[in-house]
């Protein structure tokens, strides 16, 4: 009955925000290890599985590709011996995210400037409209 305390695909979908389709897809392509089954057919997810999925979603949110997430997942399943490679991947990701954030920040400043500049034009046009 240990299985029954674990979560169905629907519950995991609700908990993570991923669709059931996507959860099966991620498992099929190796982002998630083969999930244990109840009745030998229905998936039963553990809390650890949820934790891993949450981490995957964070990697994805940083812009990491499915391809790289697969590599990371594969290393992770091989255990602590692959820690150095994983640290390397994370360092590379860190650099990329830092670069993207600094680019985003520059673009954000441009957007703010345009909002300000265009806003002033609109304001001054309103001020020049003669009241009825």
Where are any strands of DSSP class E within the chain? 37-38, 42-43
Q: Which is nearer to DNA, 19 or 117 (CB)?
A: 19
Tell me which residues in 64-93 interact with DNA (CB under 7 A).
65-67
Partner interacting with residue 110 (select from its own copies, DNA, none; CB below 5-8 Å by kind): its own copies
Contact, 45 vs 9, CB < 8 A? yes
Residues whose CB is less than 8 angstroms from the CB of residue 42 and which lie 6 or more positions away in sequence, other chains included: 8, 9
Q: Does 25 interact with DNA (rule: CB under 7 A)?
A: yes
Query: What does the per-residue mask of binding to its own copies show for 55-74, with x meaning CB under 8 A?
Result: ---xx-xx------------
Kindly state the smallest distance separating residue 110's Cβ from its own copies, in Å: 6
Residue with tokens 């990371």: 72
Q: Please provide residue 2's backbone torsions phi and psi, each rounded to the nearest 5 degrees.
A: -55, -40
Q: How far apart are CA 52 and CA 99, in angstroms?
A: 26
Other CB atoms within 10 A of residue 120 CB: 10
Interface positions with DNA (CB under 7 A):
8-11, 19-22, 24-25, 28, 37, 39, 41-43, 60, 65-67
Interface positions with its own copies (CB under 8 A):
58-59, 61-62, 80, 83-84, 86-87, 90-91, 93-94, 97-98, 100-101, 103-105, 107-108, 110-112, 114-115, 118-119, 121-122, 125
């Amino acid at each position: 009955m240990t299985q029954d305390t674990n979560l169905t695909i629907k519950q995991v979908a609700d908990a993570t925000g991923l669709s059931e389709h996507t959860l099966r897809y991620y498992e099929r392509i190796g982002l998630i290890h083969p999930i244990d089954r109840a009745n030998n057919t229905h998936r039963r997810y553990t809390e650890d599985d949820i934790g891993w999925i949450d981490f995957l979603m964070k990697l994805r949110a940083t812009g990491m590709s499915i391809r790289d997430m697969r590599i990371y997942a594969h290393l992770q399943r091989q255990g602590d011996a692959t820690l150095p490679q994983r640290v390397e991947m994370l360092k590379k990701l860190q650099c990329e995210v830092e670069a993207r954030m600094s680019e985003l920040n520059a673009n954000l400043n441009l957007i703010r400037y345009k909002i300000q500049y265009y806003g002033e034009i609109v304001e001054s046009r309103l001020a020049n409209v003669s009241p009825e």
